[in-house]
């Protein structure tokens, strides 16, 4: 599986953790679940700290506080009706994979949440990367029906990776 993930490390703790490998694993699992050829898509994952993600959260969502993960899809892919799976994006080519979007993930918030929830840090990070990837595909959790669908898909993907249901 040749997953095209560009990893940007802004906080060295992510390099020590192995964010590049974790992102490739999570992205690969999402693409496999959706039956998409990983060689035909690419994303960017940025590992940052709480200060940086708070800046991004403020700039893009008007919420100047840290959060665990943020996603910016390259285009709107949401479903027409609540609870319905979004349409899948058109693939790129092997030499020019289709851009799905960008994900940012904050180290301190992820570490704090994993500790508070009694989860392994690596499992929590993988869950958040899967969650962020699904946002790039147009999944959301604003509406109850959409949230139920997104959680179900997350649970299936995480189970394929041997990770327990995070909910």
Domain CATH code at residue 101: 3.40.390.30
8-state DSSP, 137: T
Count CB-CB contacts under 10 A for residue 161. 14
In a domain, 29, yes or no: yes
Give 39 or 155, the one with higher predicted confidence: 155
Angle, helices 107-117/121-136, rounded to nearest 10 degrees = 120
- Provide the domain limits for residue 57: 4-160
- Number of domains observed in the structure of the chain: 1
Query: Cα separation of 4 and 164, whole Å?
Result: 26
Predicted pLDDT at 142: 87
Compute the distance between CA of residue 6 and CA of residue 167 in angstroms, rounded to an integer. 29
pLDDT bracket for residue 4 (50, 70, 90):
confident
Paired tokens of 25: 């694993």
105 part of a folded domain: yes
Hey, is 73 helix, strand or coil? strand
Tell whether 73 is covered by a domain. Answer: yes
**What is the model's pLDDT at position 6?**
95
The answer to whether residue 165 sits within a structural domain is: no
102-117 residue pLDDT tens: 999 999 999 999 999 9
Q: What is the pLDDT of residue 2?
A: 67
Give domain status of residue 78, yes or no. Answer: yes
What is d(CA 107, CA 111) in angstroms, rounded to the nearest whole number? 6
pLDDT in tens, 82-139: 899 999 999 998 889 999 999 999 999 999 999 999 999 999 999 999 999 999 999 9
167 assigned to some structural domain? no
pLDDT, tens only, 46-71: 999 999 999 999 999 999 899 999 99
| Confidence band of 148 (pLDDT split at 50, 70, 90) | very high
Q: What distance in Å separates the CA atoms of residue 3 and residue 31, rounded to the nearest whole number?
A: 9
Quick check: is 49 in a domain? yes
Q: What is the pTM of this model?
A: 0.95
Nearest to 66, CA basis, from 57, 75, 76, 78: 57
Residue 166 lies in a domain: no
Q: How far apart are CA 74 and CA 67, in angstroms?
A: 21
Spatial CA neighbour of 161 closest among 2, 32, 20, 71:
32
What local confidence, expressed as pLDDT, does residue 1 receive?
Answer: 52
Residue 46: which of 5, 99, 77 has the closest Cα?
A: 5
């Amino acid at each position: 599986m040749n997953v095209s993930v560009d990893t940007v490390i802004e906080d060295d703790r992510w390099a020590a953790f192995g964010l590049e490998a974790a992102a490739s694993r999570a992205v690969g699992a999402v693409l496999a679940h959706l039956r998409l050829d990983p060689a035909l898509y690419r994303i960017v994952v940025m590992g940052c700290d709480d200060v940086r993600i708070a800046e991004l959260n403020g700039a893009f969502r008007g919420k100047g506080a840290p959060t665990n993960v943020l996603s910016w899809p390259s285009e709107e892919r949401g479903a027409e009706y609540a609870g319905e799976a979004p349409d899948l994006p058109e693939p790129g080519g092997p030499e020019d994979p289709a851009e799905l979007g960008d994900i940012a993930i904050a180290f301190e918030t992820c570490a704090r949440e994993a500790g508070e929830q009694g989860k392994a840090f690596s499992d929590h990070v993988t869950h958040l990367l899967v969650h962020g990837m699904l946002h790039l595909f147009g999944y959301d959790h604003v509406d109850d029906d959409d949230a139920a669908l997104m959680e179900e898909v997350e649970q299936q993907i995480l189970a394929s990776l041997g990770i327990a249901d995070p909910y």
